[in-house]
């Protein structure tokens, strides 16, 4: 695949780049960002995927999460994909939580979404094949995290593909979408009414069914304005029932914004670095 460089900037001794390519998975051009820490100049480095939330592009976390400073210290590369296919001819909806900017990291099976909304294949296979060919990254050392809809994607991908992702964390994830208005609406549109198909993309149901072989870190703000939609209590109950090693931190006074993400990004990058550089 041909990779077009949109921009590259020096950042904390490393390099922040933005790139575009033609995606076979989505049938559209896709834009993503990669941060390479200084350590990547001499060796392959571990990778931390960051999946963004509703309405976001690659740019939101790249510019607002404050992750590059931490990644440079820990020697991790960061990859910021987009949240959906975009462009002329791509199905969309007037609501912010469906269509472009709201891909939910799944492969849609229903019209009009099925033609382009194949974000699971894009994140799990196509984009990794591209970046590991183009950059000095260690494919055997991948972690994944994300915020809100991206936290949902990080947890579901990690539990489904545990051999791919050696570490996982999430910021305020949509934790039980099958029982939330942030999930039922989108799953019905993208996947139809078969709730068995929904279960493959519900972190709470995946936790009950299979869990994750490592530890999980989740941060959630107590003043999150979307707390009822996120349903962290459902995931917490499934974690306890499974006796899954996990740390769920209810952070007092924090909301759903990127100020929340910034505040705990250093903890998450260090969490992943510990498991990617020195796996247990």
Residues known to be catalytic:
148, 224, 256
Q: Are 151 and 195 in contact (CB under 8 A)?
A: no
DSSP string, 215-236: -EEEEEETT-TTHHHH-HHHHH
Q: Are 201 and 176 in contact (CB under 8 A)?
A: no
Given the DSSP bridges, would you call strands 77-80 and 137-146 parallel, antiparallel or unpaired?
Answer: unpaired
Q: Which residues of 2-29 are buried (b: 16+ CB within 10 A; e: fewer)?
A: eeeeeeeeebbebbbbbbebebebbbbe
Decide: helix, strand or coil at residue 135: coil
Separation of alpha carbons 66 and 64, rounded Å = 6
Decide: helix, strand or coil at residue 174: coil
Q: Are 203 and 216 in contact (CB under 8 A)?
A: no
* CA distances in angstroms from 232 to 9, 76, 202, 250, 280, listed in the order given: 37, 28, 12, 10, 27
Separation of alpha carbons 206 and 204, rounded Å = 5
């Amino acid at each position: 695949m041909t990779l077009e460089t949109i921009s590259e900037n020096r950042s904390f001794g490393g390099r922040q780049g933005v790139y575009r390519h033609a995606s076979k998975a989505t049938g559209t051009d896709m834009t993503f960002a990669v941060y390479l820490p200084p350590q990547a100049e001499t060796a392959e480095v571990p990778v931390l995927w960051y999946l963004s939330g509703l309405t976001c592009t690659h740019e939101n976390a790249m510019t607002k999460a404050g992750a590059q400073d931490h990644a440079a210290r820990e020697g991790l590369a960061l990859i910021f994909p987009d949240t959906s296919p975009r462009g002329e001819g791509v199905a969309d909806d007037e609501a912010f939580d469906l269509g472009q900017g709201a891909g939910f990291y799944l492969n849609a099976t229903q019209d009009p979404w099925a033609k382009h909304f194949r974000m699971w294949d894009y994140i799990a296979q196509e984009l990794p094949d591209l970046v590991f060919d183009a950059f000095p990254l260690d494919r055997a050392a991948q972690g994944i995290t994300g915020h809100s809809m991206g936290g949902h994607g990080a947890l579901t991908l990690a539990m489904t593909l545990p051999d791919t992702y050696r570490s996982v964390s999430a910021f305020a994830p949509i934790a039980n979408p099958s029982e939330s208005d942030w999930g039922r609406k989108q799953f019905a549109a993208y996947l139809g009414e078969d709730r068995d198909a929904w279960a493959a993309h519900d972190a709470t149901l995946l936790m009950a069914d299979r869990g994750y072989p490592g530890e999980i870190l989740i941060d959630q703000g107590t003043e999150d304005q979307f707390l009822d939609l996120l349903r962290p209590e459902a995931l917490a109950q499934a974690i306890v029932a499974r006796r899954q090693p996990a740390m769920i931190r209810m952070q007092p006074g924090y909301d759903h914004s990127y100020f929340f993400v910034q505040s705990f990004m250093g903890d998450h990058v260090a969490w992943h670095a510990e498991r990617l550089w020195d796996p247990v």
